[in-house]
Structure 1
Amino acid sequence: MIQMKFSKVAVVVFAAVGLLSACSDNITPQQQKSAALLPEYQNKLDIYKTVTLEADLSHLSANQKKMLSLLIDASKIMDQLFWQQAYGQDKEAFLAGIEDEKARRFAQINYGPWDRLNGDKAFIANTPEKALGAQFYPQDVSKSELEKAGLKDEKGLYSLVRRDDQGQLTTISYSEAYADELNRAGAILEEAATLAEDKEFANYLRMRAKALRSDNYQASDFAWMDMKNNPIDVVIGPIETYEDQLYGYRAAFESYVLIKDQSWSEKLAKFASYLPALQKGLPVSKKYKQEMPGSDADLNAYDVIYYAGHSNAGGKTIAINLPNDEQVQLEKGTRRLQLKNAMRAKFDAIMAPIAQTLIVPEQRNNVTFTAFFANTMFHEVAHGLGIKNTINDKGTVRQALKEHASALEEGKADILGLYMVRQLLEKGAITEGSLQDYYTTFMAGIFRSVRFGASSAHGKANMVRFNYFKEQGAFDRNEQGLYRVDMEKMTAAIDSLSELILTIQGDGDYQGVDALVKEQGIINSTLAGDLARLEAANIPVDIVFNQGKQVLGL
């Protein structure tokens, strides 16, 4: 972290208002007063289906229920911080300026006036384009200026780039920029730790509180990996870098509050032991699979009871694979958390209707919740496979591939997840369903995820994969516009795309992934027409939550 060299007055002003006023071309309070929905969005505000996030809390003690309430309080602070990172202005004034109730709700879902499932297109009049770097960087900065500035924390996960009073670029750590909010969140986590009946969970909460105040998250990540038995979990802090589309360096605040499903978790536990063998068998040259995933990885199923911040913005996450720290992954592996209740809601509301609309009748019964759950789960497991550090001293894959790193990593996880399913079916480790179930469900899942738009890492990954599969003949489309999976060609395409992605990652080939995204990460007219059929059928694009203490009876 660069040491700040401002006067005390300048520091106070910088920290207090710099985050909100650094963006001179954002919507002004005067514009907010007359904020109006753009005409083309008049009939596009109902793309989310509301789902109530409920869970059985009857097995929890009184202290555990109090702890849940505190974790929700801490999560709300993460939500406020993400508004600052994504939008940057006064949230309440912005929302108050939108008279139409549906439009105001749409703005809340998107954490600003840009539609996250439509390439961040503005839906409120007089709104500038969303900056690729959101509010992590000055709005007028260019990549060239950033790269010439020589900032010590240029690639910092937990810092903001700002201009000092001379207009020069500098950085300010999250713990300083958001000191008040993070101190409050830390105090809440420490209070929750006093109620924790599991010592490892209490330790994690205390260490996470310390991390929020210091920007040093690795120790708390290790503590989270060591936490195996607690029925309650919270994933909280600055975690994913998707919001930084300028470079993909800086992490956004988010939170999930979770209740463990013990019976489902026991079913999943056996799969983690297969990781080393699956890594060795990847369809790529040895040098791209020389890193061995940690043996401490585990799989568990949860009911999620609260989303906040980045995780709650636009399309909702239904599975988690963390931590992202490469050293923790190599030493300990990762934890894969399947958010079962949210997953079920998406399958019922979105996946099943998509199958009825776009899949040939004889393959519709192959689209199953069992396959959807497994494909989603193995997507998360597959994040642990492959390579985290380039083989040619370009640093980590994440650093080398910059803003494309997230999209390619999501593509890798999807494609290697299918590779894993095939291998585990052959080994007899998976006993439910057929390979055709998993492939056909995956195909329907592409249509679901492509609708997330070009601004989403998952959406970009799915567009690349759809176009690659089309070129390889992995599916065909009949005269009625219905899709059929070709099993043999799908298997070949999975292996060849796996090899391509792992090679680009291992080589840190920025030009290669840039070309891949530009050439393949597009929606052609035929696919656009098919997606329009889903819209005409009123199939939701995603879900939004009715959640909180009142819903849970806390």
Structure 2
Amino acid sequence: MKKGFVLLLVVLVFASCEHKKEARRAVKQVSVEEKNDAMTNNLNKYVSFKLTSDLSVLSESERKMLPILIKAAEKMNDLFWYEAYGDKQELFEKVTDENTKKFIEINYGPWDRLNGNKSFVAGVEEKPKGANYYPSNMSKEEFETFEDTSKSSLYTFLRRNEDGSLKTVPFHVQFKNEVKEVSNLLLEAATLAEDAGLKKYLELRAAAFLNDQYQESDFAWMDMKTNTLDIVIGPIETYEDQLFGIKATHEAYVLIKDQQWSEKLAHFANFLPELQQGLPVDDIYKTEVPGTDSDLNAYDVVYYAGDCNAGGKTIAINLPNDEQVQLQKGTRRLQLKNAMRAKFDKIVVPITEVLIDESQREYVKFDAFFANTMFHEVAHGLGIKNTINGKGTVRSSLKELASALEEGKADILGLYMVQQLHEKGEIAGDMKDYMTTFMAGIFRSVRFGASSAHGKANMIRFNFFKEKGAFAKNEDGTYKVNYDKMEEAMKDLSNLILTLQGNGDYEGVAQLVKEEGIISADLQNDLNKLSKANIPVDIVFEQGINVLGL
């Protein structure tokens, strides 16, 4: 009996060991070294750049204002952290690795913004589509049946009462202490403002932080014409809300105007009504008249904070987003020249050497990159803001898909505008410069991934252009632009996007994103080449009062 029992026990143990052995084979073991290598690779996706500017153009009062504006801008970081994730301190207490902490800071959370918002922190699940604006267990249906007029406001959170029912919490209530500090700083800066327009804007923006009524300060910002110092600050873009696309996130840019470059750009705004009428779409989709009180200006940006500093960095601004302000006043287009130059030199040029046909590399130029980026922002003012069939604004009817389609519109209409103005002799250079640089720019922006509205827009355009024969891939893996077919594809895609927007066609946009907003295996292989060549995806900033020598 004992001998048989022992034999049986040996067999069972052996079988158990074999079973565990097989189980181990199925699970990849990740060593500490592999984890460290992965995080090093993550950090290497970014290249550092120092944000500076020529401060000699500032008056003594402006030099005193600048640190105050930067201090106000810094406050946007904490507000955006709460909107994007929640409790920052709680997250950092879970993490011991310093490189992981650095990557968390870059992303304002544990999700990689350049890799589809995938979690890179153990124990953290996928990012909620509604970020921290809504209860994590709230369904779209529950939101839609919730009867509260402020639920769709740009400036409210949705939370639960003790009984589990939904309620809204205004930003100025949730952030009561923080917005009071920001308001006081803006008022302090206003006392130093020598420019009447800047002074009025700062005072109105200070008041807006306390009640979430931003339109009056948006109008005041549009009226500013002669100021050298500027600040864009507040809850502005809605990219972070990928559930409904209606909640705004806090961000800030502190800016110094380049007066010489701005003078060169100013006259382009006068062409907007003419360009609107020439859009390649049926007349019913271009009946709106864009405001001509719009500015095209160049700036050095000296501080980023909040949403605009998370993951991929913005290099041009088109604001305000308020449709009423846009129709009455137009928008201001701010080209962030120093940040733009950094991306061109450190990212676009190296991409060109890897993926653009050798015979066309000479056409990739900074002036073309600047123009394409600038007219992307101008193009936000073209097209249609309100649907033609009574569905409300384009933004409200297309919900969470609105941002990706709007970015796609701005990209393609930006190139259309360049082509039209080039024909008029208003823009110098060879049109091949703009088209080839545009192609290289697609490879830059598509690397932002599917979690970014800009990334989705670039995927759609790349796949659409491919189907239309706007470029061909060589045997050596480089791409060659077919300029005639790219011009045709530009008009076809413009027509498609403007029609979808004007119709408020949510299902049509969803289908477009599903079919075209993807990275094919072939394209992914090309993007992998860029990573292997150690070409960064984006930039991180050395910035602040000390960097500026203040």
Report the Cα distance in structure 1 between the residues aligned to 2:324 and 2:40, rounded to whole angstroms. Answer: 48
Report the Cα distance in structure 2 between the residues aligned to 1:38 and 1:279, rounded to whole angstroms. Answer: 52
Q: 1:274 aligns with which of 267, 271, 274?
A: 271
Counterpart of 1:358 in structure 2 is: 355
In 2, are the aligned partners of 1:38 and 1:123 still within 8 Å (CA)?
Answer: no
Q: How does 1:29-428 map to 2 (within 5 A)?
A: 40-41=38-39, 43-89=41-87, 91-428=88-425
The C-alpha deviation readout for 1:168-215, integer Å capped at 9, x for no partner, is 111111111111111110011001000000011000000001111111
Which residue type is aligned with residue 86 of structure 2?
G
The C-alpha deviation readout for 1:368-417, integer Å capped at 9, x for no partner, is 00000000000000000000000111110000000000000000000000
Instruction: State the Cα distance separating 1:144 from its structure 2 match.
Output: 1.1
The C-alpha deviation readout for 1:262-294, integer Å capped at 9, x for no partner, is 000011011111000000000000110000000
The C-alpha deviation readout for 1:118-145, integer Å capped at 9, x for no partner, is 0100111111110000000001111111
2:475 counterpart of 1:470: no
The C-alpha deviation readout for 1:26-73, integer Å capped at 9, x for no partner, is xxxxxxxx9x96875453321100000011111222221121111111
Larger Rg: 2
Which residue type is aligned with residue 88 of structure 1?
G
Which residue type is aligned with residue 266 of structure 2?
A
Report the Cα distance in structure 2 between the residues aligned to 1:59 and 1:491, rounded to whole angstroms. Answer: 42
Q: In structure 1, list runs of 5 or more residues that go unmatched.
A: 1-33
In 2, are the aligned partners of 1:37 and 1:103 still within 8 Å (CA)?
Answer: no
Report the Cα distance in structure 2 between the residues aligned to 1:96 and 1:50, rounded to whole angstroms. Answer: 26
The C-alpha deviation readout for 1:247-270, integer Å capped at 9, x for no partner, is 100000000000000000011011
Report the Cα distance in structure 1 between the residues aligned to 2:471 and 2:96, rounded to whole angstroms. Answer: 46
Counterpart of 1:502 in structure 2 is: 498
Which residue type is aligned with residue 58 of structure 1?
S
Instruction: State the Cα distance separating 1:148 from its structure 2 match.
Output: 1.4
In 2, are the aligned partners of 1:37 and 1:123 still within 8 Å (CA)?
Answer: no
Q: Helix, strand or coil: the match of 1:550?
A: coil
Report the Cα distance in structure 2 between the residues aligned to 1:309 and 1:37, rounded to whole angstroms. Answer: 28
Instruction: State the Cα distance separating 1:314 from its structure 2 match.
Output: 0.3
Report the Cα distance in structure 2 between the residues aligned to 1:233 and 1:261, rounded to whole angstroms. Answer: 11
Report the Cα distance in structure 1 between the residues aligned to 2:519 and 2:443, rounded to whole angstroms. Answer: 11
Report the Cα distance in structure 2 between the residues aligned to 1:517 and 1:103, rounded to whole angstroms. Answer: 32
What's the RMSD between the two structures over aligned residues?
A: 1.3
Report the Cα distance in structure 1 between the residues aligned to 2:58 and 2:177, rounded to whole angstroms. Answer: 32
Which residue type is aligned with residue 541 of structure 2?
F
Q: Helix, strand or coil: the match of 2:255?
A: strand
Report the Cα distance in structure 2 between the residues aligned to 1:336 and 1:80, rounded to whole angstroms. Answer: 27
Which residue type is aligned with residue 353 of structure 1?
P
Which residue type is aligned with residue 288 of structure 2?
E
2:448 counterpart of 1:452: yes
Report the Cα distance in structure 2 between the residues aligned to 1:116 and 1:151, rounded to whole angstroms. Answer: 32
Q: How does 1:12-27 map to 2 (within 5 A)?
A: none
In 1, are the aligned partners of 2:40 and 2:99 still within 8 Å (CA)?
Answer: no
Counterpart of 2:547 in structure 1 is: 551
Report the Cα distance in structure 1 between the residues aligned to 2:285 and 2:542, rounded to whole angstroms. Answer: 44
Q: 2:478 aligns with which of 461, 479, 482?
A: 482
Counterpart of 2:532 in structure 1 is: 536
Which residue type is aligned with residue 405 of structure 1?
A
Instruction: State the Cα distance separating 1:501 from its structure 2 match.
Output: 0.2
In 2, are the aligned partners of 1:114 and 1:122 still within 8 Å (CA)?
Answer: yes
Give the structure-2-normalised TM-score: 0.93
Report the Cα distance in structure 1 between the residues aligned to 2:44 and 2:188, rounded to whole angstroms. Answer: 40
In 2, are the aligned partners of 1:404 and 1:514 still within 8 Å (CA)?
Answer: yes
Report the Cα distance in structure 2 between the residues aligned to 1:59 and 1:515, rounded to whole angstroms. Answer: 50
Q: Helix, strand or coil: the match of 2:77?
A: helix
Which residue type is aligned with residue 490 of structure 1?
M
Q: Helix, strand or coil: the match of 1:385?
A: coil
Q: Helix, strand or coil: the match of 2:540?
A: strand
In 2, are the aligned partners of 1:378 and 1:418 still within 8 Å (CA)?
Answer: yes
Which sits farther off after the overlay, 220-229 or 97-106? 97-106
Instruction: State the Cα distance separating 1:117 from its structure 2 match.
Output: 0.5
Counterpart of 2:8 in structure 1 is: none
Give the structure-1-normalised TM-score: 0.92
Report the Cα distance in structure 2 between the residues aligned to 1:64 and 1:295, rounded to whole angstroms. Answer: 29
Q: 1:535 to 1:403 in 2, by over 3 A?
A: same
Report the Cα distance in structure 2 between the residues aligned to 1:440 and 1:43, rounded to whole angstroms. Answer: 29
**Identity across the alignment (%):** 62
Q: 1:254 to 1:42 in 2, by over 3 A?
A: same
Q: Helix, strand or coil: the match of 2:335?
A: strand
Report the Cα distance in structure 1 between the residues aligned to 2:171 and 2:192, rounded to whole angstroms. Answer: 28
In 1, are the aligned partners of 2:313 and 2:539 still within 8 Å (CA)?
Answer: yes
Which sits farther off after the overlay, 372-381 or 169-178? 169-178
In 1, are the aligned partners of 2:42 and 2:103 still within 8 Å (CA)?
Answer: no
In 2, are the aligned partners of 1:476 and 1:483 still within 8 Å (CA)?
Answer: yes
Report the Cα distance in structure 2 between the residues aligned to 1:535 and 1:144, rounded to whole angstroms. Answer: 41
Q: Helix, strand or coil: the match of 1:391?
A: coil
Instruction: State the Cα distance separating 1:92 from its structure 2 match.
Output: 3.3
Counterpart of 1:436 in structure 2 is: 432
Report the Cα distance in structure 1 between the residues aligned to 2:432 and 2:335, rounded to whole angstroms. Answer: 22
In 1, are the aligned partners of 2:39 and 2:99 still within 8 Å (CA)?
Answer: no
In 1, are the aligned partners of 2:61 and 2:192 still within 8 Å (CA)?
Answer: yes
Which residue type is aligned with residue 489 of structure 2?
A
Report the Cα distance in structure 1 between the residues aligned to 2:90 and 2:543, rounded to whole angstroms. Answer: 23
Which residue type is aligned with residue 87 of structure 1?
Y
Q: Helix, strand or coil: the match of 1:44?
A: helix
The C-alpha deviation readout for 1:494-530, integer Å capped at 9, x for no partner, is 0000000000000000000000001100000000000
Instruction: State the Cα distance separating 1:100 from its structure 2 match.
Output: 2.5
Which residue type is aligned with residue 429 of structure 1?
E
In 2, are the aligned partners of 1:38 and 1:125 still within 8 Å (CA)?
Answer: no
Report the Cα distance in structure 1 between the residues aligned to 2:309 and 2:39, rounded to whole angstroms. Answer: 21
Which residue type is aligned with residue 43 of structure 2?
L
Report the Cα distance in structure 2 between the residues aligned to 1:439 and 1:55, rounded to whole angstroms. Answer: 30
